[in-house]
Every structure is written in structure tokens, then in C-alpha cells.
Amino acid sequence: MGSSMARACANIALVKYWGKRDRNLNLPAGGSVSITLSSLQTTTRVTFDDGLRRDEMVLDGEPAAEGVRSRTGRFLDLVRTAAGTHRFALVESHNSFPTASGLASSASGFAALALAACRAAGMDPGWDGLAQLARRGSGSAPRSLLGGFVELMPGESPDGSDCLVRQVADPDYWDLRLLVVINGQSEKEVGSTEGMELTRLTSPFYGEWLRSGSADVDAALNAIVRRDFRSLGQVAETSCFRMHAVALSASPPLLYWNAVTVDAIHKVRALRKKGLEGYVTIDAGPHVKVLCRASDSEDLAREIREVPGVERVVIERPGPGAEVIE
């Protein structure tokens, strides 16, 4: 028993997952395809300690909110059960970007936590085992274990043993960029788990969303293999807008966008008409991300920074998989 530190980068899905086939095991109902980013990252140290009477968590130098601490504790219960220990842990985590902002902090967070906790507990479950574990924390977290272009396969087995991730292409395979357009609002109003469940239970279009998703996964994988930027961008927009359409069709409707989100979408479309080619994708929050070629990234970022309400545009490249640092 000891201490270990791990780092994982955030990832952005180009083909989205929105819906679970098993809520307890946190199994996705559909596949997804993502890019792991390079500089939006979480670094987490886990120290199992005989002297602790409960799990403690420090997030960006401050004691974590009770909800975050107890969610982390429930996750560590899975590690303790697998490792056959009862020791509590101190978790010290640092994000290089604002937490819970719709910037996928839960994906990098649970990927880093799974890796650090297993090492600290003396376990090496392998990448498949880590993916199974990380998924219990957050459905998109397994994708942050691997670098570059990543596919998460939903599997079919009730125990989730075939819900696995694979690297489609490494970070250096293709010189693409994702612009992360940060605008005003920080906290999400409805978390993704709650939003997905509401969608599954109330949207008349949920079945159609799932049915169309597997063709989007195939199209994205195909585009990556052929390095066909336009096709990848088009399928990414299709998947994003369908995800938000099905979320909007829930009752009550889920609207994650604000006015700046819409203005940024229009700006990207207008620039595309002028030959500056970017494609948007948006998660369960107001921030727009723009997929583009490396050669267009500076020009696109400069133009998008001019949209009123845009606070910052971060240019991200395909980044590395999770790793143990200590």
C-alpha cells in the first residue's frame, strides 16, 4: 500500500455518447469516437493511509465539495474491493482548466484517479481492466486512458466486460486541432448522467438517436483511416447536433447552449463559407469546440475570439494517453 500519482488529458467526443444501457454499471448504450487533448489535463495523487477515518479529497488546493468527495469515495470502494483492503485514501487532484465547466474534467479526472488508485493499491489490472474501472466513475473516462484518436465500444454483455476502448490512431497520426472556445457560464445546470436518463425516459426520439449512432461511428472511423478531414468534420457536426436535438426533445427539455454558443456556431459556419474550414462539436455545456486543420487553427482562433462573450480560445492538439508519473 502506498502512494502514486498519474496524469490524464481531457478528451472530446466527435461521435457522442448520450444514454446508458445500464446505469449501475455505467455502461453506454452506444459507441463513441474521441480525440484526447494535449494540455487540458488532470494530475492526481492517491495515498492510502492507515491513519485516515474516511477518504479525503483536495481539489486544486482546496478541500473538495462534499458531493465530489463522496463520489470519489464510492469510486475508491471499487478499488478497495478489488485490492482487498479497507484503508481510506487522500486524493489530491489538480486540473489545468476550470472543473465542471463542460470541459470534460470528469473524463480526465476519473482516468487519472483510476490509474493512480490502482498503482497506489499495488494493482495492475491492464488497460482493459482500467477502462472497466474508469468507466464506473464517468462514461467518457475510458477514452482518456488512451492517446490520439480513440473508440469506445459499448459491448453487449450484461456485465460490461466487452465495453472496451481502443486507440484508432496515435497522437502524431494526423495534424488536426481542436479549438476550445470558452464562454461565460461555468457550472453545468443538469449533469450528463441526469440529462441522459431524462432523455432516455422522456424523448420520443431516443431510439432513433441510438440507431443512427452506429453509422456515425463507422463514418468517423472511416474518415480517420482515410485522413478525410471534411468527412470527419461533417460526421462530428451531425453527431453533435443530433445529440443536442434528442436532449432538447426530452421533457423538460435540456438546453445546454447559451447565446454565445449559438453565435459561435454561426461564426464557424460563416467562416467555412469563406474557405476557413472548421466543424463544431458541443458537450453538456455551453462551450463550443471546433475541429480544424493545424494550418487553419491560428486564423480560426483569431476570428472566433471576436465573437462577443467568448472569453478564451485554447488551441489543442491530439494528446497522449494517461500515465503514471510517480
Q: Give the contacts of 84 (CB within 8 A, at least 6 positions apart).
A: none
Q: What share of the chain is helix, strand, coil (3-state, %, to 5)?
A: 40, 25, 35
- Could you give the CA distance from residue 123 to residue 325 in angstroms, rounded to a whole number? 16
Q: Give the contacts of 208 (CB within 8 A, at least 6 positions apart).
A: none
Least distance to ligand PMV, CB of residue 186, Å: 16
Our CB check for ligand PMV shows the closer of 111 and 223 to be: 111
Least distance to ligand PMV, CB of residue 193, Å: 6
Our CB check for ligand PMV shows the closer of 5 and 236 to be: 236
Our CB check for ligand PMV shows the closer of 216 and 283 to be: 283
Q: Please report, as ranges, the residues that interact with ligand PMV according to CB under 6 A.
A: 13, 16-18, 32, 106-107, 138-140, 192-193, 283-284
Our CB check for ligand PMV shows the closer of 99 and 106 to be: 106
CB contact at 8 A, 30 and 19: yes
Our CB check for ligand PMV shows the closer of 31 and 171 to be: 31
Query: 222-238 burial, b if ≥16 CB within 10 A, otherwise e?
Result: ebbeeeebeebbebbbb
Least distance to ligand PMV, CB of residue 289, Å: 11
Least distance to ligand PMV, CB of residue 274, Å: 29
Q: What angle do CA 7, 10, 16 make, to 5 degrees?
A: 145
Least distance to ligand PMV, CB of residue 32, Å: 4
- Could you give the CA distance from residue 52 to residue 48 in angstroms, rounded to a whole number? 8
